Every structure is written in structure tokens, then in C-alpha cells.
């Protein structure tokens, strides 16, 4: 019987995930605004030596503690990705912000059991904010319970979105429907956006062209705070999900948001503010 058949994530995993976040935060803070060495990956996205070193550090800690667990990371090849327990990590989510000295990037750490995310850490090293969510536990922000807020309609919602360059092509029209309906939209919200929804400061987050390393950690965080995360078709997010997701702080807002994402027409973007 695997842990996914229980209703609560073991506290030993939660403590260990925080140990991983402690170690990554300590290293990242020594490198912030220190003229990072930057290379471009084949997909034309940047990577720094700090990205690589932080992921190696986390992988080594996992291998030492749980050698039978798998790891999927942003910067190195996956290991034992078909294991029952798989850690999904992004050492620096928002590398461009890290390079530019913009402190909204973070470290994302998820644990999946039978492909389902049961534990997530969203750590913002520079602002020292850490959201921890786990199945069967309330989400915590720096040790205190975090809660989403009531917002049952898109008309009253603050929408956080990824960079506009990721919301182009066939994602543009569906996203535009939500942006048109929302109270206002903020782009390039950064890794912090997950925590802002979980803590009731914003109501919707939408992204496209994201990998699982970029969002699985947020699922237990947002859902443990009272929200919901799904793909654009309304399906739960797993190791096998695609590159689009929507997160809402109020579950009552999900049907309208999905309906807007499913519409074929748009009136264009409105009420847009750029972070």
C-alpha cells in the first residue's frame, strides 16, 4: 500500500521538504545580485550556475535520505521517474528575475505519490516567505495558516498571469476571455503568485507553456489553503499533466473560469496592469 491511499501526508516528508528549502534558500541568498554566470539552454531560456548547484544540492539530499525515490528537475535528467514517490523540483523558478535582481523568483519542491502531488513547498528566498502545503494539512505561510479569500465571480477577481509571451497562439483567445472578465490583470507575477492566491491577495492564476516542475508544488499549497488547481479542461494536475493550468482561490470561481477558457471568441484584453 502506498502513501497515496492515505488521507494525510506523513510529517517526516513535510519536515524533509523544509530541510530542502532551507538548504536551497541559504545557497541562493549568497548568490543574489552577485553577477550570475548565465548560459542559454537549447530552448533559449537562461540558466545560471546557481540553478545547477541548487538542483544538485537538493538531488543529493534526496538521494541520501530516500534513495528509492525518483527525482524530476528543471536542469538535470530525471531519475527513477516511474517510482511510487517522485520529487519534482525547480531550483530557481524565475531565473530571469534572479539574474535581474528581481526578488519574486523562488524554489519549488513537490512530492508526488503515484503521480499525484501530495506535498508542495513554494519558497521565496529573498523575501523569506515560505508556503508549505500537504494533503491532510492546512497550508502554512511561515508557520501560520494561510487561507484563500471568497471571490465567486470573475468580475471581482484579481488575475495573475505568466509573461504574455507564453500566452500567445491558441492560448491567447481563451486567456483573453478571462482577462476581459476579471477586475484587472497583472502579468509576470513571478513565483510569488502561487502564494498570493493561497494567502487571499489574488483570486486567479493562469499559465500556459509551463512544465510540471513549474507548477506541481503549488497544487497542495493552493488546495490546502482552500483553493483549486486544474488544467484548462478541469482535470486534476498530476505528473502526466500538460502545460496549462488555472488556479482559483475560491472553488466557486472555477466553473466560470473554465467556461471562459473554453470560449472561442474574445473581446480583447482589458484592465491590464503589468508588474
DSSP string over 70-136: EEEESSS--BSTTSSEEEEEEEEE-HHHHHHT-TT-EEEEEEEETTEEEEEEEEETTTTEEEEEETT
* Residue 211, CB-side half-sphere exposure with 13 Å CA sphere: 13
Q: Would the annotation count 62 as a binding residue? A: no
Mean pLDDT per 10-residue interval, the chain, length 275 residues: 54 97 98 88 87 96 97 92 96 94 96 98 98 98 98 98 89 94 94 97 97 98 98 96 97 97 53 36
Fold for domain 154-274? D-Maltodextrin-Binding Protein; domain 2 (3.40.190)
Distance CA 211, CA 244 (A): 8
CATH superfamily name and code, 3-145: Fructose-1,6-Bisphosphatase, subunit A, domain 1 (3.30.540.10)
Predicted pLDDT at 17: 98
Q: Would the annotation count 75 as a binding residue? A: no
154-274 and 3-145 share a CATH fold: no
Q: Would the annotation count 90 as a binding residue? A: yes
Q: Would the annotation count 168 as a binding residue? A: no
Task: Report domain extents, the chain.
Answer: 3-145, 154-274
Predicted pLDDT at 164: 86
* Beta strand pairing call for 158-161 and 184-187: parallel
Alpha helices in the chain (DSSP H): 11-31, 49-65, 95-100, 172-181, 192-198, 218-224, 254-262
**CA terminus-to-terminus distance, the chain:** 46
Q: Would the annotation count 123 as a binding residue? A: no
Predicted pLDDT at 53: 96
Amino acid at each position: 500500500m502506498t502513501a497515496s491511499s492515505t488521507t494525510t501526508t506523513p510529517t517526516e516528508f513535510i519536515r524533509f521538504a523544509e530541510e530542502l528549502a532551507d538548504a536551497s534558500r541559504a545557497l541562493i541568498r549568497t548568490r543574489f545580485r552577485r553577477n550570475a554566470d548565465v548560459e542559454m539552454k537549447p530552448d533559449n531560456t537562461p540558466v545560471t550556475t546557481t540553478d545547477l548547484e541548487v538542483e544538485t544540492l537538493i538531488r543529493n539530499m534526496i538521494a541520501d535520505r530516500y534513495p528509492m525515490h525518483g527525482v524530476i528537475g528543471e536542469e538535470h535528467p530525471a531519475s527513477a521517474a516511474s517510482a511510487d514517490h517522485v520529487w519534482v523540483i525547480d531550483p530557481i523558478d524565475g531565473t530571469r528575475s534572479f539574474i535581474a535582481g528581481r526578488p519574486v523568483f523562488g524554489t519549488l519542491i513537490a512530492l508526488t505519490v503515484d503521480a499525484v502531488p501530495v506535498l508542495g513547498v513554494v519558497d521565496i528566498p529573498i523575501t523569506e516567505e515560505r508556503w508549505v502545503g500537504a494533503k491532510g494539512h492546512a497550508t502554512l505561510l511561515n508557520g501560520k495558516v494561510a487561507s484563500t479569500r471568497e471571490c465567486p465571480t470573475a468580475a471581482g477577481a484579481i488575475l495573475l498571469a505568466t509573461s504574455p509571451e507564453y500566452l500567445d497562439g491558441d492560448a491567447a483567445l481563451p486567456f483573453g476571455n478571462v482577462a476581459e472578465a476579471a477586475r484587472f490583470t497583472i502579468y509576470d507575477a513571478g513565483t510569488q503568485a502561487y502564494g498570493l492566491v493561497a494567502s487571499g491577495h489574488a483570486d486567479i492564476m493562469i499559465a500556459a507553456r509551463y512544465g510540471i516542475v513549474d507548477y506541481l508544488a503549488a497544487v497542495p499549497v493552493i488546495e490546502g489553503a482552500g483553493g483549486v488547481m486544474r488544467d484548462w479542461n478541469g482535470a486534476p494536475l498530476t505528473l502526466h499533466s500538460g502545460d496549462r493550468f488555472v488556479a482559483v482561490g475560491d472553488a466557486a470561481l472555477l466553473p466560470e473560469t473554465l467556461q471562459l477558457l473554453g470560449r472561442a471568441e474574445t473581446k480583447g484584453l482589458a484592465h491590464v496592469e503589468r508588474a
